[in-house]
Structure 1
Amino acid sequence: MSLNHGAPRILMPDEGSSSSGEDLNVPNGCNKRQSVTSSSSKFGKRNHKGVNDALVDAMLEIAAASKSRAAALMKNESQFSISHCIKVLDEIQDLDERVYFFALDLFENPNARETFISLKSERRLIWLQGKFNASANSIM
């Protein structure tokens, strides 16, 4: 028996060693042989590469989808922003000042902004006037 003066060497599963064991030092000065089984079908480099590639592909798909969703949300937010609504509001001819200022308050609601911008331009004034009249009637 030979003495092993260093620490035991631990094999990683993908090192592909065909060795069936390593010498270990034990406190009583004797050496023992520890059995190490290689399970190349479970931990082999080929299997790791396939799994790693699949994980990387999945992560890249998730990142791309997230980036696409963020871009769509940013576009949606800017399309229905308060400042964009005000620009469109300023283009409406013959808008009563009371309805104008009512619309500014209405634009605090994201759903109202989206509705306003989504309407055809000729319907926006009618919609705003209807909202204004409904609000004025609910106060009385």
Structure 2
Amino acid sequence: MNYVDEDGTSGSGDDTNMLDGHSKRQPVTPSSSGRRKRSRKTAGDAIVDAMLEIAAASKMRAAAIMKNEERFSISRCIKVLDEMQGVDQRIYFLALDLFENPNAREIFISLKSEKRLLWLQGKCSVSSG
């Protein structure tokens, strides 16, 4: 026995279900909403991938900042200061106060070794005068 669907097509008993005396055709091909779900999943995957890339970039940036902070750390500045020749006690202790400023630490470490003492002497004469 064949039934007629609401859209006017006929189908075999395999294609239809009887529910309360009404026929209902089983979809054979994926509907457009199924394709939308797949494209949403792809878009979702792209969003997840982008978020993972952002997280990885953030971790790399944090690592670079940490490396930079270590390079210009107070302990590194003190080590370099201790290795310098001709630093009197007054300049030594004023330099320790100066190293509390991250910009001063970066300048100190970035200078060529022969310029560091002159820079410290200039900074210390300004702060004491």
Shorter-normalised TM range: 0.7 to 0.9
Cross-structure match for 1:91: 83
Cross-structure match for 1:118: 110
Amino acid at match of 1:89: L
Superposition deviation, residue 134 in structure 1: 1.1
Q: Is the helix fraction higher in 1 or 2? A: 2
Cross-structure match for 1:40: 33
Percent identity reads 69
Distance across 1 between alignment mates of 2:94 and 2:71: 20
Superposition deviation, residue 125 in structure 1: 0.3
Cross-structure match for 2:126: 134
Cross-structure match for 2:72: 80
Distance across 2 between alignment mates of 1:87 and 1:129: 18
Structure 1's consecutive aligned runs of 4 or more residues displaced over 4 angstroms after TM superposition are none
Distance across 1 between alignment mates of 2:40 and 2:127: 65
Amino acid at match of 1:67: K
Runs of 5+ unmatched residues, structure 1: 3-16, 19-37
Distance across 1 between alignment mates of 2:47 and 2:115: 51
Distance across 2 between alignment mates of 1:97 and 1:119: 21
Runs of 5+ unmatched residues, structure 2: 1-18, 21-25
- Normalised to the residue count of structure 1, the TM-score between the two structures is 0.67
State the secondary structure of the residue aligned to 1:68: helix
